[in-house]
Chains A and B, each alone.
Chain A
Amino acid sequence: MLGLRAEGLGKEFTTAGVLALRDLNLEVEQGGFMSVIGPSGCGKSTLLRIFSDLAEPTSGIAEVNGKSPREARIAREFGVVFQSPNLLAWRTVLRNVMLPLQVMGIDRAERQQTAHKMLDLVGLSEFARHHPLQLSGGMQQRVAIARALSMNPSVLFMDEPFGALDEITRDRLNLELMRIWSQLSATILFITHSITEAVLLSTQVAVMSGRPGHIHKVIDIDLAHPRTAETREDPRFYKHVLDVRRALTEASHE
């Protein structure tokens, strides 16, 4: 069974008259980490929203763990990390992380325990009682990751989660994400505009081209795991970066 599968996927925004996706095909192994990169407006967010059942495709099939996105959502098999942290400002950090568990009806003691474990994982245990607006942007995004992970999803969708952060913070969160991914063995679909980020994190990089959006090329990244800061000094890292850059240039001129 595949973690994610899209076949002949199409999406048209009829009122706006925009054909966002056409005949998009994609496969991600369970436990795989796929980054999606492509020019702005090519339909990356649309693709992720279809997989996470926030938007309906107009044609084709999307599957998450062999189920329809809707079934997978109701079975709570995936978590979503949005571009902005989307924390509920009136809840403490801990209660934000507990939110999905509370919605699932898990009892108080257990959800507290799980939430504390997730906060540990993202290194924010001592901020459990703070309110989101008392945290920096990077910390808020880590809380959002902890929240997405609290349901113990087997698939994680991330739409430019570190897009608004500075380079250093971003590097650090990338390494943290690698560590978390290796501990959880989840399937991840990760949207980014950064080529180095895509290469550093992924087992595969999908390069999209737009108007209408489709997959231009999928590039396998055969760098060893676990990926660390040293991975960037590997000569193969640069080869992959150049491959992706070339594919992205092609896709932009297509």
Chain B
Amino acid sequence: MSDTTLADAIQADTDSGRRLRVRAEIPWLTIVAPAVFFVAFIGAWELLVKVRDIHVLLLPAPSVIWRQFVEDFSLLRVLAKNTAIESLKGVLIGAVMAIGLAGLVQPVGWLNKSLLMYSSTIKALPIVALYPLCTVFFGITSAAVVAMVAIGITPIMYTFAARGFSGTSQEDDLMRSISAGRFIRFRFLVLPRALPYVMAGMKTAVPLSIIVAIISEYFGGRVTTLGSHIRRESQQLHTPEMWSAIVMACLLGIVAFGAVSLLDRYFLRWHTSRRDD
């Protein structure tokens, strides 16, 4: 083979690599179909309330809820912000604890196994029932809500992180062959290898954190939060106000999930599941 044909051959190999990057199709179905469904659902709701003349305190029409939402928006924004901050703090504390613990415990097989068993069990328990205990320690404060979220998040993040850290692979041989020390191995291999698992955990943990935060606030949290607002309005039979707060809670959940998904996309842009084929 002469030099030119060798170069041609390399070029051919190179081109075949380039072809791997095919543009992903725009998923019309996953956007248009749910949108149509949503509009139909809201329309049916509106129609039902109008036709059957359902009382506003029982079930307000979407248009009424929307008007209320617009009217309350500046208040709801503040409440949502406070709730978001509480959940975010709780998630961060829970995630750091879980990841740190999983990283520390990972080399000790039996300890890792027993902690995994505990966290799987705890995950299945209705941990919100612990909230009264949190208020015993922290009083009816923001800190109690944060603690509750952290407690709820830790076992979930632990199971995901532990799975991420447990992988041994041929890359470990590579790290040894270039005489990488423990710390470098952890930073360059173990941590990034666990990242897909951590992100998968976050996708579950972040929406859950908002649920836990709102429920905890509902049972007694700082006044200026979504949960306690919902409780107050429901107790006073302010049904449209309650619904507009629920709309805000849903929006908060969607925004939070969207943010995690974006982070996931950014951090895992190299990942197998992102390969455009």
Q: Which residues of A contact B (CB under 8 A)?
A: 52-54, 73-74, 76, 78-80, 82, 84, 86, 88-91, 99-100, 102-104, 123-124, 126-127, 130-136, 138-139, 151, 168-169, 171-172, 175-176, 228-229
Contacts and interface: CB of A to CB of B under 8 A. Distances in A.
17 contacts: A54-B173, A73-B179, A90-B270, A103-B178, A103-B179, A103-B184, A130-B17, A131-B270, A133-B271, A133-B275, A134-B275, A136-B13, A169-B13, A172-B6, A172-B10, A172-B13, A176-B6
B14 A134 contact: no
A127 B21 contact: no
Nearest to A54: B173
Interface of B: 1, 6-7, 9-10, 13-14, 16-17, 20-21, 170-171, 173-174, 176-180, 184, 188-189, 192, 195, 269-272, 274-275
B171 A88 contact: yes
A67 to B, nearest CB: 13
Contacts of A73: 176-177, 179
A136 B170 contact: no
Contacts of B271: 89-90, 133
Contact of A90 (B1, B173, B195): B195
A79 B176 CA distance: 11
Given A89-B271, A135-B20, A80 B171 contact: no
B165 to A, nearest CB: 15
A79 B177 contact: yes
Q: Which 9 A-B pairs have the closest CB atoms?
A: A229-B1, A131-B270, A123-B10, A100-B178, A80-B177, A90-B270, A90-B192, A103-B180, A172-B9
A131 B275 CA distance: 10
Nearest to A157: B177
A147 B14 CA distance: 18
Nearest to B272: A133
B188 A99 contact: yes
Contacts of B173: 54, 80, 82, 86
A86 to B, nearest CB: 5
Contacts of B275: 133-134
A100 B17 CA distance: 25
A84 B275 CA distance: 19
B178 A99 contact: yes
Contacts of B14: 123-124, 126-127, 139
Contacts of A84: 170
A120 B274 CA distance: 28
B174 A80 contact: yes
B1 A151 contact: no
Contacts of B272: 89, 133
Given A82-B170, A82-B173, A89-B271, A136 B17 contact: yes
Contacts of A104: 178
A54 B170 contact: no
Given A54-B173, A89-B272, A136-B20, 17 more contacts: A53-B176, A54-B177, A73-B177, A74-B179, A79-B177, A82-B173, A88-B189, A99-B178, A103-B178, A103-B184, A131-B269, A134-B17, A136-B17, A139-B17, A175-B1, A175-B6, A229-B1
A234 B194 CA distance: 52
A86 B270 contact: no
A99 B171 CA distance: 12
Contacts of A103: 178-180, 184, 188
A52 B176 CA distance: 9
A173 to B, nearest CB: 9
B13 A139 contact: yes
Contacts of B17: 127, 130, 134-136, 139
B169 to A, nearest CB: 8
A52 B177 contact: yes
Contacts of B20: 134-136
A89 B178 contact: no
A176 B177 CA distance: 24
Contacts of A139: 13-14, 17
A134 B21 contact: yes
A228 B1 CA distance: 6
